[in-house]
């Protein structure tokens, strides 16, 4: 009997999402009755605003939504996304330059598929969201990490990017505000990076899903607004998940040059076809309806941001750069490593995260999921009381 053919080598090399893995473990412990507090998931704890839910309910009663619709998205939603792109990213695009996707992850995947060829190098500023390197690998590209530490507020410079550039460099990942760090590039920093990319003909994959979650009067300037010439070689990725507490609705999009978007549209026509029509109608309501709920969410995140930074900073050996966007704190915990805590010696942030979960039942994501060891990611998109209790448990552990 002939032995079965092997599984895909490409998929066998892809790791499970570290953030989802930690979150699943935390939820399993919670389901078993353990008082675990989880900072793992990048998911708002708020309910989706009622007017958005009502739009979905109305859509359920329209038989047109029971049928196939254009694979690239409902025309009216693509128009609304184009309007949002002009409003928030300063870029005027045609609705034909928009593809509606099943969440931001599909947009990220398709963006790399559209512009990366086998062996191409993609510059990946670190710390990075755990999905980026895997999505690059799925496009047969090679992620090239460019690390910026807490001393740089986790923001890379043009000089660092230039030092990492080779004749195989074809794309750059640019994320502001950042997941996992919450860092926001200034307008000048964004302009410098955009001009550098244009000078060298490098594609930019710019993830803007947190662009509306900024604090202290900061604005996340889009790279295509800072450098209009960059629009010809930039794909913007976005979605409703974070701003409107719609993670489970799975509604994202990508915007870019017509030729690149055409490739992504062709791929989606075979990969998934149209996104759920009810979710599309809900997203339309989110983008065109009142923004009062979204602003209330942002203000709540801002309050929690200040609280978690203040409390984490009380732990000796922990450095917490001030995050100005998204809903993450990314403390530098190297001062806690190489030491014993409750009889256990920890050398890496992975071991530190395990210790925190085992000893005080708090789930955090180690820096190894996002780049080098020595850091932790904590999402503050959870209730105020739980947020404070979790940090106090850590304060007690490391006292």
Residue 327 near residue 381, CB atoms below 8 Å: yes
Residue 110 near residue 71, CB atoms below 8 Å: no
Strand partners, 145: 124
What's the rounded Cα separation, in Å, for the pair 45 and 296? 13
What's the rounded Cα separation, in Å, for the pair 71 and 276? 10
pLDDT in tens for each of the 399 residues of the chain? 899 999 999 999 988 887 778 788 888 888 888 899 999 888 999 999 999 999 999 999 999 999 999 999 999 999 999 999 999 999 999 999 999 999 999 999 999 999 999 999 999 999 999 999 999 999 999 999 999 999 999 999 999 999 999 999 999 999 999 999 999 999 999 999 999 999 999 999 999 999 999 999 999 999 999 999 999 999 999 999 999 999 999 999 999 999 999 999 999 999 999 999 999 999 999 999 999 999 999 999 999 999 999 999 999 999 999 999 999 999 999 999 999 999 999 999 999 999 999 999 999 999 999 999 999 999 999 989 999 999 999 999 999
Strand partners, 362: 37
What's the rounded Cα separation, in Å, for the pair 140 and 136? 7
Rounded to 10°, the helix 103-115/258-271 angle is 120
| Nearest partner of 279 among 94, 48, 118, judged by Cα | 48
Assign 3-class secondary structure to 194-251: HHHHHHCCCEEEEECCCCCCECCCCCCCCHHHHCHHHHHHEEEEEECCCCCCCHHHCC
Residue 187 near residue 221, CB atoms below 8 Å: yes
């Amino acid at each position: 009997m002939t032995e079965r053919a092997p599984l895909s080598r490409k998929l066998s090399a892809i790791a499970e999402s570290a953030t989802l893995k930690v979150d699943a473990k935390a939820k399993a412990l919670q389901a078993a009755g353990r008082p675990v507090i989880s900072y793992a998931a990048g998911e708002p704890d708020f309910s989706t605003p009622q007017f958005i839910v009502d739009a979905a309910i109305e859509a359920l009663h329209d038989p047109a939504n029971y049928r196939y619709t254009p694979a690239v998205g409902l025309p009216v939603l693509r128009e609304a996304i184009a309007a949002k792109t002009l409003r928030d990213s300063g870029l005027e695009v045609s609705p034909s330059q928009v593809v509606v996707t099943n969440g931001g992850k599909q947009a990220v995947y398709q963006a790399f598929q559209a512009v990366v060829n086998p062996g191409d190098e993609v510059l990946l500023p670190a710390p990075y969201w755990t999905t980026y390197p895997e999505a690059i690998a799925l496009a047969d590209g090679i992620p090239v990490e460019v690390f910026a530490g807490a001393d740089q507020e986790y923001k890379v410079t043009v000089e660092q990017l230039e030092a990492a550039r080779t004749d195989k460099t074809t794309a750059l990942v640019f994320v502001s505000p950042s997941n996992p760090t919450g860092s926001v590039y200034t307008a000048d920093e964004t302009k410098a990076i955009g001009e550098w990319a244009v000078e060298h003909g490098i594609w930019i994959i710019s993830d803007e899903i947190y662009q509306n979650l900024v604090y202290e009067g900061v604005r996340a300037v889009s790279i295509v607004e800072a450098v209009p010439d960059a629009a010809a070689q930039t794909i913007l990725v976005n979605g409703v998940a974070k701003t409107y507490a719609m993670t489970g609705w799975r509604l994202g999009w990508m915007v870019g040059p017509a030729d690149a978007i055409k490739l992504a549209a062709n791929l989606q026509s075979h990969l998934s076809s149209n996104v759920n029509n009810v979710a599309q109608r809900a997203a339309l309501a989110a983008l065109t309806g009142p923004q009062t709920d979204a602003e209330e969410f942002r203000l709540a995140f801002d309050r929690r941001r200040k609280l978690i930074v203040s409390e984490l900073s009380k732990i000796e050996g922990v450095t917490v750069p001030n995050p100005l966007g998204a809903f993450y704190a990314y403390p530098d915990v190297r001062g806690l490593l190489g030491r014993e805590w409750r009889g256990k010696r920890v050398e890496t942030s992975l071991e530190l995260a395990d210790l925190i979960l085992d000893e005080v039942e708090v789930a955090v994501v180690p820096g190894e999921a996002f780049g080098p060891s020595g850091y932790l990611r904590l999402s503050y998109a959870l209730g105020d009381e739980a947020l404070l209790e979790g940090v106090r448990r850590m304060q007690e552990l490391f006292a």
